[in-house]
A = this chain, B = another copy of it.
Amino acid sequence: MSPVGRVEPPASAQEHLDQVQALLEGFRAGDRAPLQAMLDRLHPADVAYVLEGLPLQDRLLVWGLVRSDRDGEILLEVSDAVRDTLLADMDSAEIVAAAQNLDADEIADLAPDLPDEVVQDIIEAQDVEDRAQLQSALSYEEGTVGALMDFEVVSIRDDVTCETALRYLRRFDELPGQTDALFVVDREDHLKGVLPLKKLLVSDPDVEVAALYERAAVALAADTDAEEAAQAFERYDLVSAPVVDAQGRVIARLTVDAVLDYVRESHEEQELGKVGLREEEDIFSSVWASAKNRGPWLALNLCTAFIASRVIGAFEGSIAKLAALAALMPIVAGIGGNAGTQTLAVTVRALATNQLTASNTWRAVRREISIAALNGISIAVVISVVVTLIFGNWHLGMVIGLAMMANILIAGIAGVLVPLTIDRFRADPAIASSIFVTMTTDSMGFLVFLGLATVSGLVG
């Protein structure tokens, strides 16, 4: 970028999108230069934002205008859903060429969305050193530090002076982004510590690095869980952290921009995962793809709803005699479901922060039972009174009050035990728990309410 005389507050990404949409009309009328000039000027992340906001046809038109040496960077920035549409529009040669402008870790980010042959072509197009890095980057599983790290490490030995270190740095054209510290290593590249730039910059040039450097706040391994690494970045306010191998040699680094993207993406995945969406989907995704994305979850819920329905079916005789039971039973099930998802939210958070462990499970369950008892009694009293007054039937009022109380208790217990169990099976409790909790509160709510009504002689 070139220096500027003054700084205007840059346009927001939304304004870029509006401008592109306006220029697209001119483009179609034959005035092509302004749109081209604008796209060449925009930051790759802003081009990505614009592509996200355009319907498919316009998106592909704009994508065709992007200079091919910027394709790679932009593919990295767009969401999975949009990336698929862009890749579908490129041939293998174009994709391989785009990959040439990317680092090994960036290519590895794209690889899952590419056909195997194209990945093979990309690997073969790399020179020897890059190829080794790329193969290592490709080998790490999603959700580990290995999948997020990059190889732009700047390390120095501890037996030099700051003057020498600074002279060494001047041999770079520019330091890699997010470099807030140099990694201090011995002759065999074993990590000894970090020298923050904020310290190097204020030091006397004659001081030795050995006298200045600090213990690294964390040294990550490539197979460290990404969530754990993200928590360390938050805890210690890190900008970068070294990644070391089993022998403690520096092999890569993790930077805060990758962590921030990871935190946002894993949040989004959870949000979509909770309602059974496995693929990212946006409001421009094709109707077919979306229907396929959502269908299996609805089918699964159809099965659980059927189970609850069979519970009701067992009491058809009681319902035929007192149809008011049918009107009231969804209240018992619904409030139980709400109480269960409240407990679930608290439990999932406690699991994510490691507050909830095997050793205090029983304590957490007891606590939920107490809370459920308190809220259950209040709700039960209210519903008992209201039902007694509306239906003029105190027996019905008692039955619904007791059933409500019981279902809120069941909800509290399920809200702790379901996510704990799922966590133990190494699945994500934030995603998979709610269907089991609500299936429990639905079925048990119907069972307890209709069962009590039947055995208590209410419908005698």
Contacts and interface: CB of A to CB of B under 8 A. Distances in A.
Give the residue among A334, A374, A442 with the most B Cβ atoms within 10 A. A334
Contacts of A446: 330
B287 A309 contact: no
Interface string A291-315: 1001101110110011011101100
Interface in A131-177: 166, 169-177
Contact of A3 (B191, B214, B302, B375): B214
A294 B375 contact: yes
Nearest to A45: B235
A215 interface: yes
Interface stretch (A28-36, A84-92, A264-272): A264-272
A338 to B, nearest CB: 5
Given A215-B1, A275-B345, A326-B312, A350 B199 contact: no
A397 B102 CA distance: 57
Interface stretch (A10-18, A61-69, A106-114): A10-18
A6 to B, nearest CB: 6
A277 to B, nearest CB: 7
Nearest to A312: B327
A3 B211 contact: yes
Bin the interface of chain A by size. 35 or more
Interface stretch (A93-101, A120-128, A317-325, A421-429): A317-325
A17 B277 CA distance: 36
Contact of A264 (B4, B234, B323, B375): B234
Contacts of A379: 298-299, 302
- CB-CB nearest 7 A-B residue pairs: A175-B198, A326-B326, A237-B257, A316-B323, A45-B235, A312-B327, A291-B374
Nearest to A175: B198
A396 to B, nearest CB: 13
A442 B331 CA distance: 11
A386 B45 CA distance: 50
A239 interface: yes
B215 A198 contact: no
Given A301-B338, A330-B446, 17 more contacts: A3-B193, A7-B191, A7-B193, A10-B219, A13-B235, A43-B236, A52-B355, A170-B204, A178-B239, A233-B260, A234-B260, A271-B345, A282-B349, A283-B356, A283-B364, A302-B383, A323-B326
Contact of A294 (B173, B190, B339): B339
A256 interface: yes
A202 interface: yes
Given A3-B214, A271-B345, A353-B52, A317 B327 contact: no
Contact of A174 (B175, B199, B348): B199
B323 A309 contact: no
B218 A10 contact: yes
Contacts of A271: 345, 348-349
A160 to B, nearest CB: 14
A228 interface: yes
16 contacts: A6-B192, A7-B215, A13-B235, A46-B235, A177-B237, A234-B257, A256-B256, A267-B267, A272-B346, A276-B338, A287-B367, A291-B375, A294-B371, A309-B328, A313-B327, A334-B442
